[in-house]
Amino acid sequence: MNKLLLMIILLIQSAPAVAKRPVFSLTIEKHLFYPSVLIIPARTKIKLIINNLDSTPEQFDSFDLNREKVIFPKTTATIFIGPLSKGEYNFFGEFHPNSALGKIIAVEDPDVN
């Protein structure tokens, strides 16, 4: 019970740090993600900006990350991800799941920014 309360307090304390989120970018072109592998810091919430250069919408989707968002043609979308434990997290474009594939690798090294 005490551990749960401590986690809730830590969560609330972590809320105001919005402006300090590290920013990462992805581009969708010809139904492919560029880069297809994105390295981010572990245990840090990041801001991911996705730019869809295609003429069709794409849905960024990830079961590992619990995220999904439609990115409309020729527009940019923002998704906040994490904090993640060290490891690999797959994502894909739900509308083109055979080609639009990628992964996020969360690492402990703080120099990945």
Partner 1 sequence: MLINSVLVFLKNALPAFFLISVSASIMEPYLISMRSKITAGIVGVSGSIMLSQSMSQLSSLVDGIGSELILASLHFSIFIILLLQLLLNLNSSGGTITKPYNLLFIIGVFLVITLDGASLLIYLNGFWSSQISLNSIIIGSILGLGISLSSALLLLYILRSKLLSNWFKLPYVVFVFTTARQLSEFSLKLIQADWLPASEPLWNSSNIIQDNSELGRFLNAIVGYQTSPTLPQIIFYFTGITIPLLIIFFTNRSKPQVRL
Among the listed ranges 22-30, 33-41, 48-56, the one in contact with partner 1 (CB under 8 A) is: 48-56
Could you give the 3-state DSSP secondary structure of residue 108?
Answer: coil
| Residue 63 touching partner 1 (CB under 8 A) | yes
| Residue 77 touching partner 1 (CB under 8 A) | yes
| Residue 22 touching partner 1 (CB under 8 A) | no
Quick one: which of 76, 85, 100 has its CA closest to 24?
76
Q: Binding residue for partner 1 (CB under 8 A) from 82, 91, 100, 104?
A: 82
> What are the DSSP calls for 43-87, one per residue?
T--EEEEEEE-SSS-EEEEETTTTEEEEE-TTEEEEEEE----SE
Minimum CB–partner distance for residue 7 and partner 1 (Å): 6
- Total of chain residues touching partner 1, rule CB under 8 A: 40
3-class SS string, 16-51: CHHHHCCEEEEEEECCEEECCEEEEECCCCEEEEEE
Among the listed ranges 3-11, 22-30, 33-41, the one in contact with partner 1 (CB under 8 A) is: 3-11
Go through the chain and tell me how many residues it has.
Answer: 113
**Residues binding partner 1 (CB under 8 A):** 7-8, 10-12, 14-15, 18, 21, 43, 45, 47, 49, 55-57, 59, 63-64, 66-67, 69-70, 72-73, 75-80, 82-85, 94-98
